[in-house]
Amino acid sequence: MESPTLATEIAKALPVVLGGILALMGGGISQWLTHQFAEKREINKLRRERLEAMVKSLYAHEQWLEERFNVMLFGEGSHDRSSPLNEARMIQSLHFPEFSEHLALVQKAQIPLMQFVSDQRISKMTDQAEWIKSWKPDPYYEAYRLYRAAVDCFVEKARNAMVVKK
C-alpha cells in the first residue's frame, strides 16, 4: 500500500474546507442582508408613525379651532387649551423640513379664524344685544374653507411622503 502524499491529502480536504468557507460566507451575508432589510423597515415604520402623529395633530387643531369658536362665542368662560398645531410644528421642525412651507400655509390660514373669533368675542362682551342682531358667520365659514384646503393640501403631501421607497 502506497503512503499518502501531502498533495493527495490536500486534494481530499479541499472540498471540505471550501464548503465550510462558503457556509460561513453564506451565513454572514444572510445576516447582513436581514439586518439591512430590518433596518430599512424600521426607518420606514418610524417615518410613517411620525407623519401620522403630525397629521393627527392637524386634525386635533381643527377640532381645537371649532371648540374655540363655540366656547368663545356661544359658551361662557375661556378656551385656554394650547393649540395642537404646536405639536405638528415640533414634529415638522425635527423630522420633516420639507413640510415647512405647507405647515406655514396652515398656520397662515388659521389667522383669519382666530381673528374672527377674537373680534366677535369683544363685540359680544361690549354689547350682546347688538352682537346678536349683527351676527354674520359667513366670513368665518369662508376662512374655514380656506383653512380646510390648506390642511387637505398638507395631508396630501404627507400621504405622498408615506409611500415607501423600495
Higher local confidence (pLDDT), 61 or 27: 61
Q: Is 79 helix (H, G, I), strand (E, B) or coil?
A: coil
How far is residue 83's CA from residue 52's CA, in Å, rounded to a whole number? 18
pLDDT of residue 33: 87
pLDDT of residue 166: 55
Closest CA to 107 of 162, 67, 61: 61
pLDDT band at 162 (very low <50, low <70, confident <90, very high): confident
Task: Find out whether 151 and 58 touch, Cβ atoms under 8 Å.
Answer: yes
Q: Is 163 helix (H, G, I), strand (E, B) or coil?
A: coil
The pLDDT of residue 74 is above 80: yes
pLDDT band at 164 (very low <50, low <70, confident <90, very high): low
Mean pLDDT of 7-21: 84
Mean pLDDT of 30-52: 90
How far is residue 67's CA from residue 37's CA, in Å, rounded to a whole number? 45
